[in-house]
A = this chain, B = another copy of it.
Amino acid sequence: MIDKKSPIPVYYQLRNYIIQDIEKRGLMPGDGILSEREYCELFQISRMTVRQALSKLEREGIIVREKGKGSFIAIPTIEQKGLMSFTEMVKSKNMTPNTEVVEFKIVSGEEFSKILLIEPWEQVYKIKRIREADDFPVALETIFIPVKLVPNIEEKEIEGSLYEILKNDYNLSIKNSNTSFSAVTSDSELEDLLLLEKGTPLLKLESINYSNDPIYYEISYYKSDKFKLNVNIRHI
């Protein structure tokens, strides 16, 4: 289960083990996991290492830790389907989604190595797509995904839902995301591609999308006059 000689840090192996164990045993929010000392015993590792794994899981919102009690599966902070798949979101409004690929190439992943947990010399696909609803452009989406995760992906493949492609062709299902929202003013590239007036406000999303490990990084700009993004948030 845990290989101390692996180049992958022990605390990260333990984090992955715990996630898989939660899934395998079908644990639900509120259920407890082993205590820190039990993981020490189980894998013959130091408590500080276990705590590093649990801290990471806590920051990721997967567990909560309670003094004197133990660590428990967290109640999900947000439940949401629409934010994941542009395709589904558009369909749910009875409109027809469409995609136009404007850029598709392999670039250095150096700038994303920390985000995507890859080595700086590894390469990533850069995929820039205009997303349309009823042939009207509503978003410009740029995705960075390691080449090793989706080798030989082809341009015509990526005209559909990336979520579906990842799930069906590469067996990668996105389980959670960390998204930050902000507002920006259009620049000339966005105005050209999305057919905007000069100085249109746009909703900017930056998100890291995880299966267990990070899968892809995305920066998107949404026309938001007639298109809002909705999230349900469950507070802890």
Q: Which residues of A contact B (CB under 8 A)?
A: 48, 59-61, 76-84, 174-185, 199-204, 206, 222, 224-225, 227-236
> Are A178 and B80 in touch, CB under 8 angstroms?
no
A155–B236 alpha-carbon span in the complex (Å): 28
Which residues of chain B come closer than 8 Å to A181, judged between CB atoms? 181, 203, 224, 228-231
Asked, given contacts A77-B234, A234-B175, A235-B177, whether A182 binds B82 with beta carbons under 8 Å apart, the answer is no
Specify which of A79, A174, A178 lies most central, judged by the most chain B CB atoms within 10 Å of its CB.
A79
> Are A233 and B178 in touch, CB under 8 angstroms?
yes
Specify which of A82, A183, A199 lies most central, judged by the most chain B CB atoms within 10 Å of its CB.
A183
A81–B185 alpha-carbon span in the complex (Å): 24
A105–B79 alpha-carbon span in the complex (Å): 32
Which residues of chain B come closer than 8 Å to A78, judged between CB atoms? 82, 231-234
> Are A230 and B180 in touch, CB under 8 angstroms?
yes
Nearest 10 pairs of A and B residues by beta carbon: A182-B224, A76-B234, A183-B183, A183-B201, A201-B201, A183-B203, A180-B228, A183-B224, A180-B230, A177-B233
A61–B234 alpha-carbon span in the complex (Å): 9
Query: Whole-angstrom distance from the CB of A183 to the nearest CB of chain B?
Result: 4
Which residues of chain B come closer than 8 Å to A183, judged between CB atoms? 183-184, 201-204, 222, 224
Query: Whole-angstrom distance from the CB of A84 to the nearest CB of chain B?
Result: 6
A77–B232 alpha-carbon span in the complex (Å): 7
Q: Which of B203, B229, B232 contacts A176 (CB 8 A)?
A: B232
Closest residue of chain B to A48 (Cβ to Cβ) is B48
Which residues of chain B come closer than 8 Å to A230, judged between CB atoms? 178-181
A229–B181 alpha-carbon span in the complex (Å): 5
23 contacts between A and B (CB under 8 A): A61-B234, A77-B81, A77-B233, A80-B233, A82-B233, A82-B236, A83-B233, A84-B235, A174-B235, A175-B235, A176-B232, A178-B231, A180-B228, A181-B231, A182-B224, A183-B183, A183-B184, A183-B202, A183-B203, A185-B185, A203-B203, A206-B228, A231-B233
